[in-house]
Structure 1
Amino acid sequence: MSLLDLSGVSAFYGPSQALFDVSLTVQPGEVVALMGRNGMGKSTTVKVICRLLKHRDGTVAFDGRDIGRLPAFRAARAGIGLVPEGRRCFATLSVFENLIAAARPGPWDFAAVSDLFPRLGERRDQGAASLSGGEQQMLAIGRALMTNPRLLILDEATEGLAPVVRQEIWAAIGRLKAESGMAILVIDKSIRELAAVADRAVILEKGVSVWTGPLAALTPDVTDRYLGV
């Protein structure tokens, strides 16, 4: 049974339809890349999964349960952890305070997050506003991990970061896959880095799921048609 199962999902912002027919699954322990050009519905799909946006048609199921009527906080409690686009750390709180703000019991605690991202352990009492962009991204990932999710969603987790920081975050994602057994849905544009961690990809085009399969099966024709600028 799939951990996450979206089938025929449509969603609107007011009168404007953003998703027309989105279907995707994530199996327990699987890493799935959600891909597509800007404005094709990736972040909207994430909002629907996390119940930050209601869908109109189709079904959204998590661990075999229809979560379409759940508020966002109950979806999070069910085991969906989100690293939102733009990080959104609590600027006035310390690193430690950010991490424990939504912590839930489980293997991911401050020590485990500090082991994954040593910089966070070094900056335990430092204010989040004083961190670099890359450190804030690490903090956002750590905060999501401390909810001890069954599904971790990373929305553009490396966008706008320096290459060396991008490498650190991709290495951490690879380690999560290898060591945690956690299911991960990752939204990113870098095929090379995604190929190293993702088991499968789903491509969106104008709010519709148009391709799914292993990244190794992405042909130049598919990438040019759906991922090219």
Structure 2
Amino acid sequence: MKKALITGGSGDIGSAICYRLAENNIHVIVHSNHNYEKAQLIDSNIKQQGGSAEAVAFDVCDADATTEAVKKLSEAGLIQIIINNAGIHRDAPLAGMSYENWTSVIDVSLHGFYNVTQPLLMPMMQSRWGRIINMSSVAGVMGNRGQCNYSAAKAALNGATKSLAQELASRKITVNAIAPGIIEGTMTEDSFDQQMIKNIVPMKRAGKPEEVAALASFLCSDDASYISGQIININGAMA
């Protein structure tokens, strides 16, 4: 049974990915930082449904703590799937954005990617199979007012995705990014009303976390073995 580590697994998109991968007979490591009880609940639900899972908690911004956590997880079995889904919003126009809000968003999305992924690469390379999916955003592709920090972090993550894909291609490890648009959930429900969504999204609706999870599931499969280095938009035809 393959093992997958999903950072931010207690969130709306993260939890949907956890459930979907568990259905595919993958052992799911549900990560959280501030919402460990939710991660434990997802772990319990997956087990009740006949799947295999465990919950973990650590701060992806803390390099030492993350290295120690992934080392312990690796000792229990090879991790061949990494979903870098952890992310936060601290929105404000750049003219009024604090340094803390600038750095905290970049720390989670970009430095968190490095802290989680780098220690797991050598074992994955030695196994000659792996899947790395970085959760980007439409903001990292198109930009978005009030999200210079978030857009910068996700655009950098897109660049890292393309570079790492080239480094790992010969080892049969794929690296891709998923760039969701407006997706139903707690991170968007206070920012977009229904009329705004209809104005912005050609499909006239928000996406569902399960739709993002379906894409992630495919990218983790053997059927996606020739897809790498791609930034795949899932945004209802937003330009």
Q: TM-score, normalised by structure 2?
A: 0.29
| Higher helix proportion | 2
Q: TM-score, normalised by structure 1?
A: 0.30
| Higher strand proportion | 1
Higher normalized contact order (CA 8 Å, seq sep 6+, divided by chain length):
1
